[in-house]
Amino acid sequence: MTNRAIRDLSTFFVLLFVVLVLRQTYVQIVAAPRIAARPTNPRHALLDAGRGRILASDGTVLAQTVNGRRVYPFGPALAHPVGYASVRYGTSGIEGSFDAALTSPDYSGDPVAQLVALAETLRGNPVAEQGADVITTIVPGIQSRLFELLSHYPRAAGIALDPRTGAVLALASVPSFDPNDFDAAFSALSSDPASPLLDRALDGLYPPGSTFKMFTASAALDSNTVTMDSYFEDPGYLVIGDFTLHDNESEATGYGDLTTAFALSSNVDFGQIALRMGVDTFYEYLDRWGIGGSLDFQLPAARDHVPDKGGIVPGELAQMGFGQGALLMTPLQMALIGATIANDGSEPRPYIVRQIVRNGVVQTSTEAATLASPVSPDTAAKVSKMMVAVVQRGTGTPAQLAHVTVAGKTGTATNPRGRSHAWFVAFAPAEHPRVAVAIVVENVGYGATYAAPIAREIIRTALERGNV
């Protein structure tokens, strides 16, 4: 071999060594914290024998580690919001979003200490220091009742929150799964066409149907497009160019004021209202409410789908006025619309974790906050009054409660994949709201028949507890 060949080969090995050194330096110094934090890191999972607890608002245990195994006492009833912590499949829900707090103190900065702790864990002597406890806003009685009622149907979701603060009292989705047996069931769960791993309350996107008339009425009143004394004619259809819009089941509400149009849920009237507002004003209020944007919430939640403003034609705008067309919303967002009206036009920031406590010391607390103030208190009061009329004499009478004034709005959302989705959004007591609820039941029919009774029972449960 010539000297030149030897020199070239030596240079190659030197360069290769440099690359390896740089790569190892990157992994050990730059990427080490991120790699150590990965929920699928086996070493991280083994060290999690000291993982903290997840607790309900009253201290009830929702998740804890017992003998090195993560245990979920509420099983499927809280699987979506609490989530799972799996050595093989990672984390989800609160287990995922608050993994850094729940995990026992981080050893990633000291590889030797990490290896020692890992060896101790494998020998059955887990690390002494515990991760923090995560205190949620979940009220177990409301959560259990919500999951029980939703479970009467193949696919449904619901959320209950305090409209004054944004605290989530209950959040459920069906079908669900048992996080206590997650690893063994994962294959079947991930291939199930019913999508039990999907959290429909946060990630389910549905046409909101007539529940969206809460938004349209608020925007129209707030922008002075209509007044409470505006009257409309509904013959059962509305011709818009070469497009004809119809009421549900070809019903016709006739001649009436705004409250009548709202209480009887006239699609024709609300199509007319949206057209009066026009695209610019309609989209201005979508922006004010933050609809279509990212939501400031502690768990991942899907963005609502709002069609591009530039492509909106009159027929599409009219349909959006009563929650149809290409508009898609999550139950969380619809609950926030109801909560905003209940809260005098101020949209509360939703939250599900109240405190993080380590060794008895509160590390962080979540305070009530406002996301936006999209409409005035006067507008909110007018829409609230119309929502009371819905329950007292309109389409939402199945939501009536003795000695409690319930404000609500039904929705029967048509979709191309079968029967309509049933919706109901409500809050109570209407005079001083303490609970707001959004319920959706997939492919069953009328909102008044299927969703309103569930909302009524959740409101009853929440108010009877006396702690909301």
**For every one of its 468 residues, what pLDDT tens digit does the chain have, with 9 covering 90 and above?**
566 666 666 676 666 665 665 665 554 445 544 554 555 555 455 546 688 999 999 999 999 998 888 999 999 999 999 999 988 888 999 999 999 899 877 544 555 655 666 666 556 665 557 889 999 999 999 999 999 999 999 999 999 999 999 999 999 999 999 999 999 999 999 999 999 999 999 999 999 999 999 999 999 999 999 999 999 887 877 788 777 777 776 677 777 899 998 998 888 899 999 999 999 999 999 999 999 999 899 999 999 999 999 999 998 999 999 999 899 999 999 999 999 999 999 999 999 999 999 988 999 999 999 999 999 999 999 999 999 999 999 999 999 999 999 999 999 988 877 899 999 999 999 999 999 999 999 999 999 999 999 999 999 999 997 566
CA distance 3 to 10: 10
What per-residue confidence (pLDDT) applies to 93? 96
What per-residue confidence (pLDDT) applies to 443? 92
* 249: its two tokens: 């089941």
What per-residue confidence (pLDDT) applies to 73? 97
223 is a catalytic site residue: no
| CA distances, 305 to each of 203, 279, 286, 329 (Å) | 11, 16, 11, 7
Which of 57, 86, 173, 210 is catalytic? The answer is 210
What per-residue confidence (pLDDT) applies to 238? 79
* 213: its two tokens: 């008339």
Q: What is 141-176+197-352+367-465's CATH number?
A: 3.40.710.10
Q: What is 37-122+131-136's CATH number?
A: 3.90.1310.10
Domain regions of the chain by residue span: 37-122+131-136, 141-176+197-352+367-465
Give the single-character DSSP code of 343: T
pTM of the model: 0.86
CA distance 273 to 278: 9
Tell me how many degrees the CA angle 315-444-392 measures, rounded to the nearest 5: 80
Specify the pairing of strand 435-441 against strand 61-66.
Answer: unpaired
Q: Name, in order, each residue with C-beta under 8 angstroms of 407's C-beta and a sequence gap of 6 or more.
A: 341, 342, 384, 387, 388, 390, 391, 426, 427, 428, 430, 433
What per-residue confidence (pLDDT) applies to 249? 64
Specify the pairing of strand 54-55 against strand 133-136.
Answer: parallel
What per-residue confidence (pLDDT) applies to 416? 76
Asked whether this chain's domains 37-122+131-136 and 141-176+197-352+367-465 adopt the same fold, the reply is: no
The answer to whether the beta carbons of residues 291 and 328 sit under 8 Å apart is no
